Structure formats: C-alpha cells, structure tokens
C-alpha cells in the first residue's frame, strides 16, 4: 500500500501577498508572530508583511543561515511573551523550517530531539499546533509545502523532523518578493529546487503523481534558472522558478537521496557556514554517477525532461550548469575541511534521506562520494 497525499492551501502569483489578512482571518489567527531573518528585514520585505498585520504582532528576525535549536527556543520565547496564536514565516527555507520547529515546541513538550524522524519521532507529532503561514522570498527549498524541518540541535546534529502536521497551513507564493534576490543566491536556491526534483524522481517509492510533478519542475527550472540568474528583474523567470521550487517541495513525500544525506550533516557544521542549495549543486554530479546503474530507465526520462540526448551524461550536464551559474566546483572550494569527513560520512549514513536513494548506501559508498565531491 502506498500513501499519496496532496498537500496544503497555496496562493500563487504576482501580488498574492495581498491575500494575507483575509487568509489569517480564515484561520482564526489574530496575533501572529512574524518569523524572519535580518536580510529579509533589510530588504524591506518583513516590513511589507508587518504593515498588513495587527500592530501588536512581534517580530523575531534572528533566524540563522541553518536553523538551530537555540534559535527555536529564542523565537518560542517571543511567541509566548507576545501571546501569539500563529506564525507567519517570511524568508527562505531556514525561516520556514524554524517556524515549523517553533510551532511544534510551543504546542508539544520538550525535548525537541524526541520528534526527529531518525529517532522515531513522527508519531509523536500531533495536529495540536498553531497555524503557520509560509511566505517564501527565495525560490528553492520548497519548505512552504514540505512536511519536514531541518534543525541543528545543541549537540551539533542536523536532524530532520517530518510529519504531515508540519506542512504550513497556507503558502503564499508571490514571485514579486524574489525580484531583489542576488544572482548567486538565485543560482544556489535554484539548484536546490533542481536537486529536489531529481532526487524525488529517483526515489524508489511508488508515487506517479509526484514523478510527473518532479519532471515538470525540473524542466521548468533548467529552462528558467539561467534567465532569473542573468536578469533578476524578469518577473516571468522569477514566477517560473517559484513554481519549480514549489513543485520540488510537493514531491518530498517520495523521499530524497544521497545528495541530501550528505548535505544535511555538512549544513550542521559551525564553521564554515555552508549554504544548503550550493552543497546540493556541488554534491549532485558524484551522486548521479554512483546511482546511474541503479536508476536505470529513470535517467532516460530525466534527460528527456532537460532536453538532452538519450545517452547524454547527466553528471557532466550538472557540472556545466553549475559553472554557468558561477557556483563552486567542489566542497574544497567551499572551504570544507578534510578532517570533518569521518563525521560527515557517519551523518550521511544515519540521515533519513539515505533510505530512499536509488541504491542502498554504505559507509564506503559515502566515503567515495565525499572524496569525489571534495575534489570536484
């Protein structure tokens, strides 16, 4: 038996932000916490949201690049002190993931770790959570419709918290909010969307609707990401990339694979701080080469979606695509130190995404992949 579920309420399109007050009313939410980061505040986007909400709505703008348990506790304190009844997350995947964790911890007993998927936490997460509205300002993570939150715990583990109850009650996807995104962040978040579409499609779980969405999202992103990168003011390109990111998130229920199993522990490093989408872009070629035999005919369909020939080298295509977008060619170029690799290998083996890689993965397999990704 295979569970196939879609998904949540989505308001999509230029100007969609204007529906926020009415949507909050439909949810019965009158005292939201605005959860965001300093970059979104500096860009004026948090202010636009705040102006549409009750004047008493507090703002938490200390979301780190990779959300942490410590930030969750700080935001939860602001939520409780402000008498909040809901959360409006404005930003990229970090703010949206942090909002999910805050909603979980203000409605469920601590410690947070007990809800991690790898520790059997899924059945402990109930529906007794405050409403969450996700307003993405990047086009990549798909967290606005995803059932997972990736949080780095106080002990350094970056763990996945997964439940249908973590899917935001509403996603407001307004591509106008991404018009000011810098080129390299556009590239990195766009490659995140591409990695989601590829890995979910390759997951061995049976879900033809998700497969179809993943292939369409991949084709959309490959076509429009170079245009959004070259001309950040192109609203059509921004809209198409926001849809591609949304589609990648719609497919998460199929599971991901070795790319994400490797990028998750790397994202938990204190130094250097590593961008998730960039990690996925850099790691993807090595994983595509390793999975080629196990994936079989699925690679033919991936090539067709991208517009490549039947026997084209997918890994080489991704490497060239990364170069065109100005992304680094290796983990070494990103500053990853070699002495952390034993911990990263162990983290990848234990990561929840590893179970849905097309081929079963061992420590030796991950050691090979990390060596290849370090070298580029």
Query: Which of the four pLDDT bands, split at 50, 70 and 90, describes residue 6?
Result: low
Strands (E), 132-256: 132-136, 148-152, 158-162, 170-173
- Mean pLDDT across 104-133: 95
Asked if residue 55 has pLDDT above 80, the reply is no
Q: Is the pLDDT of residue 356 over 70?
A: yes
What pLDDT was estimated at residue 158? 83
Assign 1 a pLDDT band (cuts: 50, 70, 90): very low
Q: Would you call 52 exposed, middle or buried from its count of C-beta atoms within 10 A (0-12, 13-18, 19+)?
A: middle
Q: Grade residue 114 by pLDDT with cuts at 50, 70 and 90.
A: very high
Pairing relationship of beta strands 86-91 and 32-35 according to DSSP bridges: parallel
Q: What is the mean pLDDT of the chain?
A: 94
pLDDT score recorded for residue 200: 97
Output the CA–CA distances (angstroms, integers) from residue 27 to 10, 32, 173, 294, 325, in the order listed: 14, 11, 18, 45, 40
Adjacent-strand bridge partners of 86: 32
Question: pLDDT tens digit string along 120-138?
Answer: 999 999 999 999 999 999 9
Q: Is the pLDDT of residue 63 over 50?
A: yes
pLDDT at 180: 86
Instruction: Determine how β-strand 148-152 pairs with β-strand 158-162.
Output: antiparallel
Name the one residue in this structure whose structure tokens are 């002190």: 81
Percent of the chain residues past pLDDT 90, beyond the cut: 88
Q: 24, 53 in Cβ contact below 8 A?
A: yes
- Domains of the chain in start order, with CATH, are 9-178 (3.40.50.1970), 183-375 (1.20.1090.10)
Residue 3, pLDDT above cutoff 80: no
Is residue 349 very low, low, confident or very high in pLDDT (cuts 50, 70, 90)? very high
| pLDDT tens digits along 314-338 | 999 999 999 999 999 999 999 999 9
Instruction: Report pLDDT for 263.
Output: 96
Contact 65, 248 (CB under 8 A): no
Tens of pLDDT, residues 67-93: 999 999 999 999 999 999 999 999 999
Lowest-pLDDT range of 77-81, 160-164, 288-292: 160-164
pLDDT reported for residue 8: 86
Residues 6+ apart with CB under 8 A from 182: 232
pLDDT of residue 2: 52
Q: What is the pLDDT of residue 253?
A: 82
Helix 276-295 / helix 258-267 crossing angle, nearest 10 deg: 150
Q: pLDDT value at position 54?
A: 80
Indicate if the pLDDT at residue 4 is higher than 90: no
């Amino acid at each position: 038996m295979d569970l196939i579920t879609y998904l949540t309420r989505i308001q999509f399109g230029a100007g969609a932000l204007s529906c926020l007050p009415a949507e909050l009313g439909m949810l019965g939410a009158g005292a939201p916490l605005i959860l965001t980061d300093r970059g979104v505040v500096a860009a004026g986007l948090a202010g636009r949201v705040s102006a549409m909400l009750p004047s008493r709505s507090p703002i938490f703008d200390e979301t780190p690049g990779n959300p942490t348990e410590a930030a969750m506790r700080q935001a939860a304190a602001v939520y409780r002190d402000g008498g909040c009844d809901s959360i409006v997350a404005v930003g990229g995947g970090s703010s949206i993931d942090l909002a999910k964790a805050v909603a979980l911890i203000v409605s469920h007993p601590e410690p947070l770790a007990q809800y991690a998927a790898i520790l059997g936490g899924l059945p402990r997460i109930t529906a007794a959570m405050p409403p969450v509205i996700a307003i993405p300002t990047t086009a990549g993570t798909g967290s606005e419709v995803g059932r997972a939150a990736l949080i780095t715990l106080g002990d350094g583990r970056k763990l996945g918290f997964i439940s249908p109850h973590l899917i935001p009650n509403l996603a407001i996807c307004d591509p106008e909010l991404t018009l000011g995104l810098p080129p390299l962040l556009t590239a990195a978040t766009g490659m995140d969307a591409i990695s989601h579409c590829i890995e979910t499609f390759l997951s061995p779980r049976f879900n033809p609707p998700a497969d179809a969405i993943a292939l369409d999202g991949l084709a959309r992103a490959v076509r429009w990401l170079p245009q959004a990168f070259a001309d950040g003011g192109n609203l059509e390109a921004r809209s198409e990339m926001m849809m591609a990111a949304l589609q990648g998130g719609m497919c998460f229920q199929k599971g991901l694979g070795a790319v994400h199993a490797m990028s998750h522990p790397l994202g938990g490093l204190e130094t250097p701080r590593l961008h998730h989408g960039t990690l996925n872009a850099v790691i993807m070629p090595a994983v595509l080469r390793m999975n080629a035999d196990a994936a079989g005919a699925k690679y033919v369909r991936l090539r067709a979606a991208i517009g490549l020939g039947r026997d084209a080298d997918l890994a080489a295509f991704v490497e060239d695509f990364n170069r065109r977008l100005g992304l680094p060619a290796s983990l070494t170029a990103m500053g990853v130190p070699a002495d952390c690799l034993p911990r990263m290998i162990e983290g990848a083996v234990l990561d929840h995404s590893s179970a849905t890689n097309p081929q079963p993965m061992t420590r030796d397999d991950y050691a090979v992949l990390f060596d290849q990704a370090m070298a580029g």
